[in-house]
Amino acid sequence: MMEGYEKAAADAEERLASAADIHAVADIERDLLGRRSQFTEAKRRLGDLDPGDRAAAGRRLNAARERVEASVAAARARLTASGRADRYEAERLDLTERLPRVVPLRRGHLHPVTQARDRLEDVFVGMGYTVAEGPEVESAWYNFEALNIPEWHPARGEFDTIFVNLGQPEEVMLRSHTSPVQIRVMENREPPIYIVAPGRTFRTDTADATHLPAFNQIEGLAVDRNITLGDLAGTIDEFVRALFGREVKARLRPSYFPFTEPSAEFDISRPDGSWLELGGCGMVHPNVLRNCGIDPEEWQGFAFGFGIDRLAVMRHDIDDIREFVNNDVRFLSQF
Ligand code: PHE
């Protein structure tokens, strides 16, 4: 009996070593130390032995039990530790994980229209202008009235305005040009004033190769003493040269805007000898100055406004302005 158990206890370590999990360990433990085990049986039989032999047999039995218990404890420790480690490994979140670098990550860059806008701002800041901004949703006062376009004026129709369903009919709108920023600036500042105001503008145009319903303009406004049309022409010349170099020429053509008098449209020359219309300009109308509390006897001004998207088209020789809003990275990454 005793030998049988000692043999089983000696094998315990090997059996436990191949136990796959703590449940298997518990099974082996029950088999070796449980109520129906050889151990329990041997302990019960100790009482049958001679009292002289009993103590020695008891010691042998206890030594075997301790061996088994130590082996079970070791196996349990091994399996719970590695079980935990396995679970941790499976549940692990690698916060430094990256996509495999099959295609190397590339750094993006600013949209070509944003680049043109930044460049324009730089050129005008270099000429002593500051940058102003106004809201994209405007009232009829800023978008029309204060700019000398009363309600009855046919020019209102020319702007293809997108109205917002707020207030009275045709009272609130998405600004159809950046000229309302002229008014906001003149209302709030004393001359001399030299500002440019770039920003988004909106018209009911259907998108085609040269039009977008949401586009960008940059407005310029100078108000000072003794400002002349020559200053306006010189300013346009100067910025066209700064942007495109000496080969590109600018020209003014007489035109009409209610908020400037005289008014002109300005074009820039293309390599093929044709002219591209870029925007409008003129001397600020005395009514506009008056609407902003500026005395036209003392102060004069010029203003201009043109499309930034158009300018970017020209700069990069792009044949369809819609490319700017298609969001095709193959197109955009070229600039
Ligand atoms: N606001 C005019 C337009 O959008 C352009 C312009 C600006 C003309 C300033 C004259 C002076 O067509």
> What integer is the mean pLDDT of 211-223?
97
DSSP state of 147: G
> What integer is the mean pLDDT of 302-320?
93
pLDDT one-digit tens code per residue, 38-58: 888 887 888 888 888 888 888
The domain segmentation of the chain, as residue ranges, is: 2-91, 112-332
Residue nearest to ligand 1 atom 10, measured at CA: 281
> What integer is the mean pLDDT of 204-216?
95
> What integer is the mean pLDDT of 99-113?
81
Distance 330 CA to ligand 1 centre (A): 34
Q: Taking CB atoms and a 6 Å cutoff, what residues make up the pocket around ligand 1? A: 177, 179, 257, 260, 279-282, 303-305
pLDDT band at 93 (very low <50, low <70, confident <90, very high): confident
Distance 190 CA to ligand 1 centre (A): 22
pLDDT band at 314 (very low <50, low <70, confident <90, very high): confident
Which of the two residues, 253 and 67, has the higher pLDDT score?
253
- The answer to whether the CB of 129 falls within 8 A of the CB of 194 is yes
Please give the C-alpha separations between residue 30 and each of 124, 133, 222, 335, in angstroms, as whole numbers: 90, 83, 97, 76
Q: What is the mean pLDDT of the chain?
A: 91
> What integer is the mean pLDDT of 292-300?
98
Q: According to the model, what pLDDT value does residue 177 have?
A: 97
Atom of ligand 1 nearest to the CA of 305: 7
> Is a pLDDT exceeding 90 seen at residue 281?
yes
CA–CA–CA angle 285, 288, 292 (5° rounding): 145
The helix/strand/coil state of 191 is coil
Residue nearest to ligand 1 atom 8, measured at CA: 280
Rounded CA separation 79/71 (Å) = 12
pLDDT one-digit tens code per residue, 232-250: 999 999 999 998 888 899 9
- The answer to whether the CB of 8 falls within 8 A of the CB of 41 is no
pLDDT one-digit tens code per residue, 176-209: 999 999 999 999 999 999 999 999 999 999 999 9
Q: According to the model, what pLDDT value does residue 190 have?
A: 96
pLDDT band at 14 (very low <50, low <70, confident <90, very high): confident
Residue nearest to ligand 1 atom 7, measured at CA: 305
Q: Which CATH architecture has domain 112-332?
A: 2-Layer Sandwich (3.30)
Atom of ligand 1 nearest to the CA of 306: 5
